[in-house]
Chains A and B, each alone.
Chain A
Amino acid sequence: MSSRRKVLLKVIILGDSGNQYKATIGADFLTKEVMVDDRLVTMQIWDTAGQERFQSLGVAFYRGADCCVLVFDVTMPNTFKTLDSWRDEFLIQASPRDPENFPFVVIGNKIDLDNRATVAKNALAQESEADNYNEFPTAITLNKQENTNSKGGCSC
């Protein structure tokens, strides 16, 4: 089994997941094969427990991650504000080799909820200006509610 594995890309997803599934306890992950420059890469998309209390488990699961996806809820500005804390927490736990340039992807979830999204977009715009997210490579993606985990992960 191990011989077949080629390049591994480990992506961590942090933040609130929707109410699609059961609350994650411990950790779960999905795999997806993607072509990157003619190379087939097995991407593991890890989903860890949402609640901050379970962060102590992170050490084991974050280890060796190549990318971290931060997800927030566009209908709840607070979730965006806490992304910083999540990022710091991740950097502490995973202690990557080059924390300054570690790639993060920010994903705004639930954009399909129109009536509330306006508010969130305002907040988003404000925050983006205020914060210096440009220091490290970041993409801000907005995507729809369904399939946040898998589809969102592919964009990086």
Chain B
Amino acid sequence: MSVPMVEATRVSKSFGTVEVLKGIDLTVARGEVMCLIGPSGSGKSTFLRCINHLEKLNAGLIKVDGELVGYSRSGNTLRELPSREIAARRAQIGMVFQRFNLFSHMTALENVAEAPVGVLKRPKAEVRDEAEALLRRVGLGDRLHAYPHQLSGGQQQRVAIARALAMKPKLMLFDEPTSALDPELVGEVLEVVRQLAGQGMTMILVTHEMSFAEEVADKVVFMDGGRVVEAARPEILFRSPRHARTREFLTRVL
């Protein structure tokens, strides 16, 4: 069997004295779509941010494509890599944020083309064509030169997805991509995510959209209190959860 795309072993993380992750073990295979669900404060967003080293770990290992993202290992200790090396490894992992976080002084097209040109040092003309194609793919072919504040939330989030895809990532992380959207704009963003899943992109989504998780995920993970309570195929986790806490959470949100 090939190396899994993401392999987390005993991941622990504290903010000060508060332990937010208490030993997470998770594996995501290539091409797999995993949805993280759970009450707020359960640590699912923090775990996601640990994968591309936006948060530092206290203990444990996260390997992406067989490689540690933020650390080098010698025996039982991990040392943080120089920031340049971390940056290079992050470039292979796409991330989409709850609040879009588009660069507000750049047009949609410039947002998408910025990192491929600046980080990957690819030729401008080529990147521009690709960026245009990506924006068309997410349905924004007519908004190439719009600035973020001229776009609706749903449009901004689709630009953000195109921006992440422009780096040709091997893994995409979505941190509650629809939570900041007006209800009528949620569908257009989920449609783009659905297409990506269909194309075999490996993805981890933190989401509150249970029906979407059930439809698109290969595996659903329920987290609570910094621990993985239950991980299963969606039809099992949503229809017949094994744990009482999972059932309790699902009855509250469904």
Asked if A and B are interacting partners, one says no
Interface residues of B (CB under 8 A from A): none
